[in-house]
Chains A and B, each alone.
Chain A
């Protein structure tokens, strides 16, 4: 396949996110482990053979045409590698295909360790937390090294599988990634506490019981992130593609005031200048967030491309459709429980409403994670329709 095809896909994306009607509305998907199940196999069946695993994973792309991949394709976590090191937060799900994050099994810091984090974040992260996550490195050297060798053998399979998948998707099939190697990434400081240091429950309790401590920890984490940010706004002048990225994790659990304090203020303060220069961000939304969506009007018009989750895209369009590109077009529950015709009717309604004037790219509302997340015939029908109907 030629670079012309790739360039055409990029041009359509650039047009759409700059509120110009593209020659074809870009059609994309966020898929994680579901592709392993496309032809009835499971990840567990194929995970020890990278060539077979990649071949199995890629099969669905023979039937479903994509212009772009939202976020990362491939296996997200090296589960067996982690397990060899005593890190058991991730497991292969009961369907033998999806990967689940089991926060109940995770080793988080205790509340009385906040002063240590605040005092020396780097040491706390790479020494204290490292050994909490991978307890094997607290064992005698011979024990730790034997485990590390076993982990490396497993990691090689994971690494090769993902290399083959990515090579085929991006180099052979010329599907476009929304994100580039130099893309800006924003994760709020509170999300670091929520995801890595304290876990969901503890972090939300801390917001009530020790808010000043949380604020101080966020300050330290934020300052480190700013120090690590080497790019300058002028590097992004006139570069609206590839996109930067931010992902909601804690945000749908926060009140609007907390959202402003712990997510939006830093996003605007730190990355606003990049957006003024021309950079655009992909927001992977989680949960419902219509109640705070108006905040994005404080950013330059057209700076955001939003993947919705549980919110109604037609309501989101009324609220922000003139200001941000919507990445939407089909609901996962319809793909799972609806008929082919219901899926097509919904896709058509989305195109008829959102496509005129640009500011719309086609994407489902939830990533395909598990074997039975969607009915395959519905996915094929919805994407076939989207690919045809979105042409000028």
Chain B
């Protein structure tokens, strides 16, 4: 997952710190973590 000079894990780390899609940092962290786990489970 490192082609295009990024990894999926890096994108999710960025998502956790990005308040442009969710203001509440706790919710942001919880949703980002749950989403990542959900995507991994589906493969």
* A196 interface residue (CB < 8 Å to B): yes
* CB-based contact A141/B11 at 8 Å: yes
Q: Which residues of A contact B40 (CB under 8 A)?
A: 126, 130
Residues from chain B with Cβ under 8 Å of A82 in the complex: 42
Is there contact, CB below 8 Å, between B5 and A127?
no
In angstroms, Cα B34 to Cα A81, docked, is 12
Taken residue by residue from 8 to 43, chain B's Cβ proximity to chain A (1 for < 8 Å, 0 otherwise) reads as 100110110010111000010011101100111011
From residue B30, how far is it (CB to closest CB) to chain A in Å?
A: 8
17 A-B pairs (CB sep. < 8 Å): A78-B35, A81-B35, A125-B43, A126-B40, A130-B8, A130-B39, A130-B43, A134-B39, A137-B8, A137-B11, A141-B5, A145-B14, A145-B15, A148-B11, A149-B20, A152-B32, A155-B38
Q: Which A positions have Cβ atoms within 8 angstroms of B? A: 78, 81-82, 85, 87, 125-127, 129-131, 133-134, 137-141, 144-145, 148-149, 151-153, 155-156, 159, 196
Q: Which residues of B contact A (CB under 8 A)?
A: 1, 3-6, 8, 11-12, 14-15, 18, 20-22, 27, 30-32, 34-35, 38-40, 42-43
User: Across the A-B interface, how many residue pairs have beta carbons closer than 8 Å?
Assistant: 68
Q: Is B1 a contact partner of A137 (Cβ separation < 8 A)?
A: yes
How far apart are the CA atoms of A130 and B42 in the complex, in Å? 9
- A153 close to B1 (CB less than 8 A): no
A residues in contact with B42, CB < 8 Å: 82, 87, 133
Residues of A within 8 A of B38 (CB): 78, 81, 155
- The reply to whether B35 and A145 contact each other, CB–CB distance below 8 Å, is no
Q: Chain A binding site: helix, strand, loop or mixed by DSSP?
A: helix
Q: Say whether chain B's binding surface is mostly helix, strand, loop, or mixed.
A: helix
How far does the alpha carbon of A125 sit from the alpha carbon of B4 in the complex, in Å?
Answer: 19
A281 to chain B, nearest CB (A): 21
A149 to B11, CA, bound (A): 10
Residue among B4, B21, B27 making CB contact with A141, cutoff 8 Å:
B4
Please determine whether B39 and A152 come into contact, CB atoms closer than 8 angstroms: no
Which one of A85, A127, A149, A155 lies within 8 Å of B18 (CB-CB)? A149
Q: Say yes or no: A149 contacts B21, CB within 8 Å.
A: yes
B3 partner residues in chain A, CB cutoff 8 A: 138
Question: A120–B12 Cα gap in the complex (Å)?
Answer: 24
Question: Is the Cβ of A85 less than 8 Å from the Cβ of B39?
Answer: yes
Residues of A within 8 A of B5 (CB): 141
CB-CB under 8 A from A137, the residues of chain B are 1, 8, 11
